[in-house]
Structure 1
Amino acid sequence: MRIPRIFIDLPLNEHQQVELPRETSHYLNRVLRLPVDAQLRVFNGQGGEYQAQICAANKNAVSLAIGAFSAEDNSSPLHIHLGIALSKGDRMDFVVQKATELGIKEISLLYSERTEVKLKGEREEKRLQHWQKVAISACEQCASNHVPTIHAPTPLNQWLEERHETVKLIMQPGTDQPFKQDNPGKVALLVGPEGGFSESEVNAANQAGFNNLSLGPRILRTETAPLVAISILQHHWGDLR
């Protein structure tokens, strides 16, 4: 039987007992229906994971006895920071989930000239919390011990000014620049909205040190392009074999 992996946003140490947050307790108690003494693997995003066992449970709370620590780290050695224009529907959920499975380290949500989605105030905060939960769930499933950071929406120009990665790439269909580079350690990957970036935005990215990257003759959707690019980057410089 597969042992469940659970993210806990708490400091963890061997031989301690922790009471889980209400939402996590509900998931273990009512969804997975795990009994007392059930075995778990838990992590808090700080690297490694712990063995754990349910030591107490009631309708509202579940407590765990934290066991041995394992320093095994499945994170990619390549630090990829994805900047992607906000899009409608569940496309962002899909990108966050799959990019997390592929080993992304950071995701920045961007406003560009052709971005149709605008988030403000409470709505923005709720969406950020939702996407962070999507990333956590993906980590629980794929055995990653580091949860990627989901950054609040920011204007494209501001994001470009803040980039200091060794390699900076902008997805731009129809370009013929070859994908050749020594292992950079850190990569910034920029993906536009459904309508693509405007000419002025592409020029601004190029002036900020971004090189155009095309993935072939076909135009990929905004939720497809970053996943293909991340897979290629991880194959060349990361741990995807």
Structure 2
Amino acid sequence: MPRFHCPEEPSSVLRAGGEFELPPETARHVQVLRLQPGDTLTLFTGRNGEWTATILRMGRASVTVRVDQHHAVEREALLDVHLAVGMPANERMDWLVEKAVELGVASIQPLLTERSVLRLSGERALKKQLHWQGIATAACEQSGRNRLPSVHPVRALLDFVVWNPPEVHRRFVLSLDGDSLPLSQVLASKPPTGPVLLLSGPEGGLSPNEEQAARAAGFEPLSLGKRTLRAETAPLAALAALTLQGFS
């Protein structure tokens, strides 16, 4: 059954038996898929499970649905992992956002670092943030997630590492230094029991000054082994290891 994100608005409150017009972007998506009156679909707001609905009417730019039933189902990872990443260049950040959402990331913080190839600020940074949030929404629609992770505005790394959100229990930084603990060892000996903040660098990694600042701020250095992984691969490998714990 096709799934669509339906942002909560006063005109689109989801309740059993209610009828309303889908938001314009959702309606366009329905029309692109050539769905017809009588077809059923799944709607989710990003916060509270999902709803089955039936298409009643379709206009040139509008789609009216009847909400049928609420399902209090969630498909979230057992561990909340918030990913802070030095933005890789070109379309690699798009790919990273999509796959991170599929793997269950709780939120994504794009970072501007000393070695970042992709340099964003002002209106361009805002447009990219909205673009990545759209990719995250589409990944939720595809993967079955009903919780929509936020893609935060771009921040400078040195401003970010001193932020200490109270809900985060442990903070990790991916590192190539010899004193870094293998992630497999951390998971085996002292696995995280609460939300995690995972920091990963861009192409070329974090600079020595940036990694030192992260460690001084309480980030524990982690290693993914002896192979050199790409900037978009390394955080996804760590994210998978963390979020897939406990899943069969």
TM-score, with structure 1 as normaliser: 0.93
- Superposition deviation, residue 158 in structure 1: 1.7
1:190-239: CA deviation from partner (whole Å, max 9, x where unpaired): 00010111111111111111111111100100100011001111233xx4
Q: TM-score, normalised by structure 2?
A: 0.91
- Once the two structures are TM-superposed, the CA of residue 118 in structure 1 deviates from its matched residue by 2.0
Number of the residue aligned with 1:100: 101
1-structure distance, mates of 2:51, 2:36: 19
Letter in 1 for 2:153: A
Q: Write the mapping of 1:193-212 to structure 2, written as runs, cut at 5 A.
A: 193-212=202-221
1:228 is matched with: 237
> In 2, distance between residues paired with 1:118 and 1:174?
26
Most deviating of 162-171 and 98-107: 162-171
Residue 166 (structure 1) shift: 1.2
- Counterpart residue identity of residue 184, structure 1: T
> In structure 2, do the counterparts of structure 1 residues 47 and 77 end up closer, same or farther at CA, with 3 Å as the change threshold?
farther
Residues 97 and 132 in structure 2, CA contact (< 8 A), matched pair in contact too: yes
Q: Match for residue 9 of structure 1?
A: 7
Q: Which of 166, 169, 172 is equivalent to 2:172?
A: 169
Percent identical residues: 36
Partner of 1:42: 43
State the aligned residue count: 236
List runs of 5+ in structure 1 lacking aligned partners: none
CA distance, structure 2, for counterparts of residue 46 and residue 137 of structure 1: 15
Q: Does 1:215 align with 2:224?
A: yes
AA aligned to 1:6 is F
Letter in 2 for 1:21: P
Amino acid at match of 1:166: H
Inter-CA distance 35–43: structure 2 relative to 1 (3 Å threshold): same
* CA–CA distance in structure 2, aligned partners of residues 42 and 109 of structure 1: 28
Q: Give secondary structure in 1 for the equivalent of 2:78.
A: coil
Task: Return 176-185 or 78-87, whichever deviates more.
Answer: 176-185
Distance 1:200 1:92 in 2: 24
User: Is 2:25 the partner of 1:23?
Assistant: yes
Q: Deviations over 1:117-174 (max 9, x none)?
A: 2222322222111111100110011100001100001111221111332111111125
Describe the SS at the equivalent of 1:161: coil
Distance in 2 (alpha carbons) for counterparts of 1:154 and 1:81: 15
**Structure 1 SS opposite 2:211:** helix
Q: Distance in 2 between matches of 1:144 and 1:6?
A: 11
Q: Which amino acid aligns with 2:86?
A: A
Please identify, of 166-175 and 212-221, the stretch whose mean Cα deviation from structure 2 is larger: 166-175
Alignment of 1:106-121 (within 5 A): 106-121=107-122
Segment drifting more, 201-210 vs 179-188:
179-188
Displacement after TM superposition at 1:67 (Å)? 1.2
2:57 touches 2:65 (CA, 8 Å); kept in 1?
Answer: yes
Structure 1 position 240, deviation (Å)? 3.5
SS at match of 2:146: coil
Structure 2 unmatched ranges of 5 or more:
none
Which whole-Å CA distance do the structure 2 matches of 1:120 and 1:131 have between them? 15
Q: Displaced runs of 4+ in structure 1, greater than 6 A?
A: none
